Amino acid sequence: MRQVLVAVILFFSAAALASPPASFNAAKRIAAKQIYYDQNTTFYCDCPFDFDAGPDLEACGYEIRKQPARASRIEWEHVMPAYDFGRQRQCWQQGGRDNCRRTDPVFRMMESDLHNLVPAIGEVNGDRSNMRFAMVNSPAHEYGACDAAVSFEERAFQPPPHRRGEIARIYWYMRDTYGIEISRQQQQLFTAWAALDPVDEWELERNRRIATIQGNGNPHVSTEDLPPAPALVTPSSVLDNRSRSVMPDSITEFSCDTRKTCGQMSSCDEAMFHLLQCGNGRLDGDNDGVPCESICR
């Protein structure tokens, strides 16, 4: 029976590699284990880190601005903030991010898009929030040797030079894939940044890995035999296509809309769906890849 269960887990894991994550929580788990598994420096500050232990601030000369608790952990940063792509959708106007997560499958697709996620020091992620990228003037707050700065007065965040082109190309990907509007000023800034900071080897490799997992690459990074970004489709089509490509027909009735405990699961199939596709790691308490062992045994 154990061999059968392992085979089922491997099947679901392999299937999950071929399509986008179904939730932000699932995307974070996939990004850590399948994209950044051999990368150990943070996006903005180049601080060495471990996903469990957090960043080594002393090693990179990072100086805590105000939030030691958040500075001690790694968080997943949306390069294009959720506010930017969410506020252009009706669900955001009717209840913000939580409502979009509950009711809008296109928003969930945008929020979990791996091209838009990078590991960052929690304090930097918190300070940047939904600020626009820009070259800031004083007064600006800095982080020691980390070559980034934030101006709360201007509501602007200045990234280090070696990340500016990558940021531009991620913004263009989100714009083209989901129809997100970007101001003329931002477009001009990103054009300059992309020219000054061309694609490097890690950006190419990251794009390949995401294309393998998610099914599409970022054409602003490379067009080397990578699948194109999907056309924006109706919410029902998004859900239908995603569920068919990830899970067998027998369990496409499951949904990530409601977060469940093991006691609420109707079957091992449903528990596996919630672990792998919804990112509900609490179902796998001992982290052995088997959820809800009372029913998956």
Supply φ then ψ for residue 158, to 5 degrees: -105, 110
Provide φ and ψ at 191, rounded to 5°.
-60, -40
Burial class (CB in 10 A: 0-12, 13-18, 19+), 8: middle
Give me the residues paired with residue 132 across strands. 156
What's the rounded mean pLDDT across residues 121-142? 90
Q: What is the pTM of this model?
A: 0.72
pLDDT at 178: 92
Q: Mind listing the pLDDT tens digit for each residue in 156-169?
A: 999 999 999 999 99
DSSP string over 60-118: HTB---S-HHHHTSEEEEESS-HHHHHTTSHHHHTTHHHHHHHH-HHHHHHHT-GGGEE
Identify the pLDDT of residue 5. 40
Euclidean distance between CA atoms 159 and 121, whole angstroms: 13
Return the pLDDT at 238. 36
Percent of the chain at pLDDT exceeding 90:
59
Is the predicted pLDDT of residue 270 greater than 70, yes or no? yes
Tell me what pLDDT residue 211 has: 93
Q: Which residue has the higher pLDDT, 75 or 293?
A: 75
Confidence of residue 297 (pLDDT cuts 50, 70, 90): low
> 54 in the Ramachandran plot: left (φ > 0), alpha (ψ -120 to 50) or beta?
left
- Name every residue whose Cβ is closer than 8 Å to that of residue 104 and which is 6 or more positions away in sequence: 89, 90, 91, 235
User: Would the pLDDT of 196 be above 80?
Assistant: yes
Amino acid type, 42: T
pLDDT at 11: 34
- Give the residue with greater pLDDT, 269 vs 169: 169
Segment 12-25 mean pLDDT: 64
Q: Which of 9-18, 78-87, 248-257 ranks highest by mean pLDDT?
A: 78-87
**CB–CB of 127/150 below 8 Å?**
yes
What pLDDT was estimated at residue 241? 35
- Residue 140, burial from CB neighbour count under 10 angstroms (0-12, 13-18, 19+): middle
What are the backbone angles phi and psi of residue 129, rounded to the nearest 5°? 50, -120
For the cut 80, the answer to whether the pLDDT of residue 220 exceeds it is yes
Report yes or no: 132 and 186 within 8 Å, Cβ to Cβ. yes
pLDDT of res. 289: 60
Is residue 281 within 8 Å of 251, Cβ to Cβ? no
Q: Any residues with CB less than 8 A from the CB of 192 and at least 6 apart, and which? A: none
Average pLDDT, the chain: 82
Say if CB 167 and CB 116 are below 8 A apart. Answer: no
Average pLDDT, integer, range 249-276: 70
Give the chain's length: 297
pLDDT of residue 277: 57
Per DSSP (E only), the strands in the chain are 49-50, 54-55, 74-78, 117-121, 132-133, 141-143, 146-151, 156-158
At 237-258, the pLDDT tens digits run: 333 333 333 333 333 456 766 7
